[in-house]
Structure 1
């Protein structure tokens, strides 16, 4: 055995021998974070740094992914020997350096060729795309210092780093890109959309505001995509009303521009608004129908309870026909609560009787009134149930108070839920119309 390992190439073959996952001894040492072992292996066979495993992980990529800064240093010292930057899914060590947080992530670019800086992953994203996405200003600066042409590289959907930065709302990254490459404003994706389009779709009002403050960008502001939509059109399509208002108020924006369907942004807004109104009308009808059903149910139940009193009636004597438990406090409470439930459910029926002649606003107000009446009717019915249960369980008072306890818990839970719903309710209303004042 010893004799078979006397030749240097045989030692190298042993060091390079892969396991079932095609990991070499160097891959194992990096995963374990064993810096001294890594240095020893690289010293014996520097070409180990150029071998990838079954999932295309190179030693350098693995070291960056594992955040082993000292091991990264040891691997980079191997230059100019062959070093692979490859990683899974088309990623490189430079991608991982941007995605993962390592002390040496930026220094990797200093030893990276311009071609590696421009190399895209399976989505076509270069390291600059990722840096723009995460708002990594230092990485963007370094990439642009090495190779400004990377700013023009498009991913598989035609998006540049500028599109990504605009969509994510990173204004400092946008400034860096257009300062190094002023004509980057003209980059369009596969849908012929500019960075302004991307900002609108991403709901980035800060980016839209920033772009509108730039001089000499009239062509960009009114640029149309493959559907003929300008940024203002997309703001209306995607219901970005605050952005639409800001765009419409800018004098450079062509508010009369039409898309391929011959629609202006104003047309799109009102078409959507009318659709929403129809949907609201249908929703209002559904609400009224539900309220009517509940009101009829409560009125029926409480009306029937009036003639089927708890405990029954006296069959003879001077009190014949009177409720046997009429002198009980709980029975009197039952009668009061049952009456309240019946009256408020009946009131809800009267309020619901005819709303066809009302406007949408008046229907909403009526729906709220009907809802309030039904809420009080439901509460009265619950309390009548609890009182009726208690009055027939006088001798077992412990069991008789159970309905009160349960109803109390339900009421408290409902009140808390209502308060939460008010806190999270969005009361903002679309204000796009203000941006179209000059159209009148």
Structure 2
């Protein structure tokens, strides 16, 4: 706003102030017994007039309100809206009304907080009311700019978030300390600037930082010491915690930071992670290349738990990042974390198929395949321990993997699998893990076998599922078996084509000499008898013994499956023999029935084929079935996350919704 006002404008402002002054001069006794002191609710009409922004209309509404309610201006200024806003909060987003009213507002209302903890200065900064006679300038001279709302956001946070450059300049020029206030999310205004993605805001804040921190040298070497998180790291907030995500997605911001204040790219967070850790985490290849070029030694910096950036890339299955980072050191065995694990250990732990495949195909990583961590566990032990059948299939079929190696507990990978399967009805991915190890020829530890044979007390009897679950499965199977028996009995009475009614062949099926009719009869009988046998076996489950129930369910499975398959064939044969004179329809019936039978038999193979066979030809076939089983079990990278991704989420802080990245947490 131009401060060089004309004489007419000056007179107009004087008249406005005089009108407001008359509202102060109420009878003192009236002020003492003012009814408004018993009701602090703001007049809705006055609220609307303030929101409109017309200063003359607002003053008129104020005069009408004071006259109608018999209250004075000071009392009116104390009234609150439902969200705890005073009139000063409401008019903070306008310049003219605030300019007219500011001289009549007592000091305690200047920094009064609403229900969200916001002062009028927060609202003015968010609205971008800059200028020499703007709302920010008028409020700043009397307000405490360091007051934060319930989210611990300062007025500068609001100005930065809304990209109001002039307001940012005003606030930082008057109080540079605002740059270092941290909100509840751990962000300073600089961190908020990074998240906005506005390069101009970042440049502006960097200029202010350089001005208020002259001791920061614009030149920095990779060996320069990184200040502690209680020093520069804590007060800038530009690179600490998890707020580098968005600036890492913008190469221009990285370049600007390097040019203006390169020390920012050397900072670490409370977990001792540097920007390269996060670039690897977010799969930001351009950012990784940039930082490798500028600060190559940052790739060799470990976080608090010993993770290098390459470990982070392996954990997240970012192969291209691994390719870039592994070139920085000639010997990949040097890439070890705090547990003594190499990049293959980390990859198999978190089920990263692409990274594991890349490592196995690269000759320079051959000596990592059977390497041990501090607990003497090889990658084969770890992939078994974390139940990653999809990755285990890659390792177990690699001839370089030593299946006989034991860990510190003298256990092979198969021993680890046996130890981890505690239930009889274990999850499919656990059983697949054991099957893959057995089919690869993984032996048991000789020492453990001798101990188990010599001491029966050491044998571990696997626990059956819960009794309620077994009863539910029993009830389901009995219902299915009963339905099959009923349907096959009904179809044996109402046979396709019907019966002869002549005296000589009375009661004989008309289609008796048709081949497909014979198939119908045989399959119908098989389905009937198999379902009844299954029902008889399931009668033993009336005993409330989980081991008996489990055994009965196991024995009834095959007969029930045979009954279902036979019923399918009986139906197909019965329909076929009825429509055999219409060739195309008969062919369609056969094709549909054959497809259904093939699907059913494929699932039966998963249950009964000897997947543990060591024969090469059988293994080639069973590997395909195992892959199907893996897809059915959900044993992908997300399934792995039981241990891995939950650990990432454990101590994380939320990030903005723009990219919906998972929280940044390692170790």
When normalised by structure 1's length, the TM-score is: 0.60
Q: Is the 8 A contact 2:351 2:390 kept in 1?
A: no
Q: Is the 8 A contact 2:271 2:303 kept in 1?
A: yes
Partner of residue 561, structure 2: 368
Does 2:382 align with 1:220? no
Change (3 A) 1:109 1:68: closer
Q: Deviations over 1:201-249 (max 9, x none)?
A: 2211221121122234344222212332111122223333343333234
* 2:193 equivalent among 40, 63, 71: 63
Change (3 A) 1:54 1:103: same
Change (3 A) 1:148 1:110: same
* 1:168 equivalent among 309, 316, 327: 316
* 1:19 equivalent among 141, 147, 154: 147
Partner of residue 401, structure 1: none
Q: Secondary structure at the residue paired with 1:263?
A: coil
* 1:233 equivalent among 353, 358, 381: 381
Structure 1 stretch displaced more, 199-208 or 26-35: 26-35
* 1:51 equivalent among 150, 163, 180: 180
Structure 1 stretch displaced more, 194-203 or 117-126: 117-126
Does 2:164 align with 1:34? yes
Q: Secondary structure at the residue paired with 2:325?
A: helix
**How far has the Cα of 1:60 moved from its partner?**
1.7
Superposed, 1:303-318 pairs within 5 Å as: none
Q: Deviations over 1:296-352 (max 9, x none)?
A: 9999x9xxxxxxxxxxxxxxxxxxxxxxxxxxxxxxxxxxxxxxxxxx999734443
Distance 2:212 2:269 in 1: 21
Distance 2:411 2:401 in 1: 16
Superposed, 1:21-420 pairs within 5 Å as: 21=149, 25-42=155-172, 44-45=173-174, 47-48=176-177, 50-53=179-182, 55=184, 57-78=187-208, 80-82=210-212, 92=239, 96-99=243-246, 101-102=249-250, 104-111=252-259, 116-183=264-331, 185-269=333-417, 289-290=474-475, 294=479, 348-354=531-537, 363-369=556-562
**How far has the Cα of 1:362 moved from its partner?**
7.2
Q: Where does structure 2 lack aligned partners over 5 or more consecutive residues?
A: 1-101, 104-138, 214-230, 432-461, 487-526, 541-550, 569-595, 618-667
Q: Where does structure 1 lack aligned partners over 5 or more consecutive residues?
A: 3-10, 302-343, 376-417
When normalised by structure 2's length, the TM-score is: 0.42
Q: Secondary structure at the residue paired with 1:353?
A: helix
Change (3 A) 1:432 1:241: farther
Q: Secondary structure at the residue paired with 1:19?
A: coil
Change (3 A) 1:115 1:297: same
Q: Is the 8 A contact 1:91 1:122 kept in 2?
A: no
**How far has the Cα of 1:129 moved from its partner?**
1.7
Distance 1:243 1:257 in 2: 18
Q: Is the 8 A contact 1:178 1:185 kept in 2?
A: no
Q: Deviations over 1:170-206 (max 9, x none)?
A: 1111111111234465232232222111111221122
Distance 2:612 2:236 in 1: 44
Q: Secondary structure at the residue paired with 2:210?
A: coil
Q: Secondary structure at the residue paired with 1:81?
A: helix
**How far has the Cα of 1:93 moved from its partner?**
6.4
Change (3 A) 1:134 1:88: farther
**How far has the Cα of 1:122 moved from its partner?**
3.5
Q: Is the 8 A contact 2:159 2:168 kept in 1?
A: yes
Distance 1:82 1:199 in 2: 45
Q: Secondary structure at the residue paired with 2:212?
A: coil
Q: Deviations over 1:264-288 (max 9, x none)?
A: 2244456668965788995797577
**How far has the Cα of 1:165 moved from its partner?**
0.6
**How far has the Cα of 1:45 moved from its partner?**
4.8
Q: Secondary structure at the residue paired with 1:77?
A: helix
Q: Deviations over 1:54-82 (max 9, x none)?
A: 54533321211233332112223346323
Distance 1:435 1:49 in 2: 72
Q: Is the 8 A contact 1:118 1:153 kept in 2?
A: no
Q: Secondary structure at the residue paired with 1:189?
A: coil
Change (3 A) 1:208 1:346: closer
Distance 2:476 2:350 in 1: 40
**How far has the Cα of 1:137 moved from its partner?**
0.6
CA RMSD of aligned residues (A): 5.1
Q: Is the 8 A contact 1:61 1:87 kept in 2?
A: no
Q: Is the 8 A contact 1:52 1:86 kept in 2?
A: no
- The count of corresponding residues between Structure 1 and Structure 2 is 341
